[in-house]
């Protein structure tokens, strides 16, 4: 029988032994300072048990993993109307790339590249005050986790606001194609705060239970929406590294430049991993290896 606790401990030991960390995100000053030699993994199982190894109580900013929650919130708010503004195809380009936006006439390839997430945030803002939109967003994340001890790291949000020239360019470019309905600065301020939500790997794994369809998880979304979000995580969740992630791990996953990864094993488990050093694609370097070790040993790949 699978001894999951022993497996997670051995994966954590292996990751520390290999000491192949990568470099934390350099373009967000507050992330650039983080010690890369850190690792955590947590797994929530269908029977309600949670197993962890490494620094599972360490908080990190979820960054682009917030795009999963923004997609869930947007589907809940406007449903299929979203697809008139964002496509559902892998981009094959970096998370912050602008190249396809011109040929695609301001229509982002998917909700997980930055341009697509700026559009979902815009959809969440329409018709209400940014403070309320952000409060509702945090409420959703807390409800999915069943834990109110989840907060926004204001310093990281400000750090990105002061330096985020690339995202500002994307937002203004979207506006030029009339695919942004609110002022770009307002949308970006909200987007940066969503990205700066801090969670532990335990909280992240708990938040994913509804996507994994685990019994007893909070009913914040329909089964149909969960299926669609998982499909997008599989095909687009790691940007131009999505094919490699599917090849090595074989599960829907969403990364963030804070070093977190949320991974869904449908009907089996929800997994949170963190290690702040990144690979070429801007996804957690050690975290991706740990995910591959986990699915190799458990056979949880969907393929
Ligand atoms: O918008 C940004 O650039 C960051 N707040 C989030 C990017 C990110 O996490 C990409 N994922 N690996």
Q: Across the chain, what does the average pLDDT equal?
A: 97
Of the options 3.40.50.300, 2.40.10.220, 3.40.710.10, 3.30.479.10, the CATH number for the domain spanning 4-60+198-298 = 3.40.710.10
Share of the chain above pLDDT 70, in %: 100
- The string of pLDDT tens digits covering residues 6-17 is 999 999 999 999
| CATH T-level assignment (fold) for domain 64-197 | Beta-lactamase (3.40.710)
User: Could you give the CA distance from residue 183 to residue 205 in angstroms, rounded to a whole number?
Assistant: 34
Structure confidence at residue 193 (pLDDT): 98
- The string of pLDDT tens digits covering residues 36-68 is 999 999 999 999 999 999 999 999 999 999 999
User: Could you give the CA distance from residue 185 to residue 203 in angstroms, rounded to a whole number?
Assistant: 30
Q: DSSP 3-state assignment of 175?
A: helix
Would the pLDDT of 169 be above 90? yes
Average pLDDT of span 185-198: 97
Which is the catalytic residue, given 239, 242, 270, 284? 239
Angstrom distances, CA of residue 157 to CA of 98, 174, 191, 303: 22, 21, 9, 38
CB of residue 283 inside a 6 A radius of ligand 1: yes
257 is a catalytic site residue: yes
Q: Residue 221's pLDDT band (boundaries 50, 70, 90)?
A: very high
CB of residue 95 inside a 6 A radius of ligand 1: yes
Atom of ligand 1 nearest to the CA of 278: 12
User: Could you give the CA distance from residue 66 to residue 237 in angstroms, rounded to a whole number?
Assistant: 11
Angstrom distances, CA of residue 176 to CA of 17, 60, 92, 181: 50, 34, 23, 11
Contact criterion met (CB below 8 Å) for 31 and 276? yes
Side-chain-side CA neighbours of 178 within 13 Å: the count stands at 1
Domain with CATH 3.40.710.10 in the chain: 4-60+198-298, 64-197
Q: Which residue has the tokens 């002061």?
A: 162
Closest by CA to 62, choosing from 233, 192, 250, is 192
CB of residue 69 inside a 6 A radius of ligand 1: no
Which is the catalytic residue, given 64, 66, 159, 242? 64
User: Could you give the CA distance from residue 111 to residue 120 in angstroms, rounded to a whole number?
Assistant: 7
Q: DSSP 3-state assignment of 53?
A: strand
pTM above 0.95, yes or no: yes
Average pLDDT of span 207-216: 96
User: Could you give the CA distance from residue 227 to residue 199 in angstroms, rounded to a whole number?
Assistant: 24
CB of residue 114 inside a 6 A radius of ligand 1: yes
Q: Residue 157's pLDDT band (boundaries 50, 70, 90)?
A: very high
Would the pLDDT of 1 be above 90? no
- The string of pLDDT tens digits covering residues 60-100 is 999 999 999 999 999 999 999 999 999 999 999 999 999 99
To which H or E segment does residue 1 belong? Answer: none
- Non-local (6+) Cβ contacts of 193 within 8 A are 134, 152, 154, 157
239 is a catalytic site residue: yes
Average pLDDT of span 217-228: 95
Contact criterion met (CB below 8 Å) for 226 and 213? yes
């Amino acid at each position: 029988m699978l001894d999951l606790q022993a497996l997670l401990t051995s994966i954590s030991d292996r990751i520390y032994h290999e000491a192949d960390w990568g470099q934390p995100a350099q373009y967000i000053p507050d992330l650039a300072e983080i010690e890369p030699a850190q690792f955590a993994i947590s797994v929530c199982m269908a029977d309600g048990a949670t197993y962890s190894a490494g620094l599972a109580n360490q908080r990190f900013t979820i960054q682009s993993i917030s795009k999963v929650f923004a997609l869930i919130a947007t589907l809940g708010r406007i449903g299929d109307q979203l697809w008139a503004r964002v496509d559902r195809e892998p981009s094959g380009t970096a998370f912050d790339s602008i190249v396809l936006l011109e040929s695609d006439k301001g229509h982002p390839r998917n909700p997980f590249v930055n341009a697509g997430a700026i559009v979902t945030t815009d959809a969440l803002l329409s018709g209400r005050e940014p403070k309320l939109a952000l409060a509702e967003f945090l409420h959703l994340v807390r409800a999915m986790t069943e834990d109110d001890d989840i907060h926004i790291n204001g310093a990281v949000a400000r750090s990105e606001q002061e330096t985020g020239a690339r995202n500002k360019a994307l937002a203004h470019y979207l506006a030029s194609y009339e695919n942004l309905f609110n002022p770009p600065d307002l949308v970006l301020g909200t987007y940066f705060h969503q990205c700066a939500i801090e969670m532990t790997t335990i909280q992240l794994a708990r938040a994913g239970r509804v996507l994994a369809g685990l019994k007893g998880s909070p009913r914040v979304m329909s089964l149909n929406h969960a299926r669609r979000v998982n499909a997008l995580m599989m095909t687009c969740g790691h940007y131009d590294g999505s094919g490699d992630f599917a090849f090595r791990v074989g599960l829907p996953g969403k990364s963030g430049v804070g070093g977190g990864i949320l991974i869904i094993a449908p009907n089996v488990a929800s997994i949170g991993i963190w290690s702040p050093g990144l690979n070429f694609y801007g996804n957690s370097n050690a975290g991706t290896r740990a995910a591959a070790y986990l699915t190799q040993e458990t056979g949880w790949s969907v393929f």
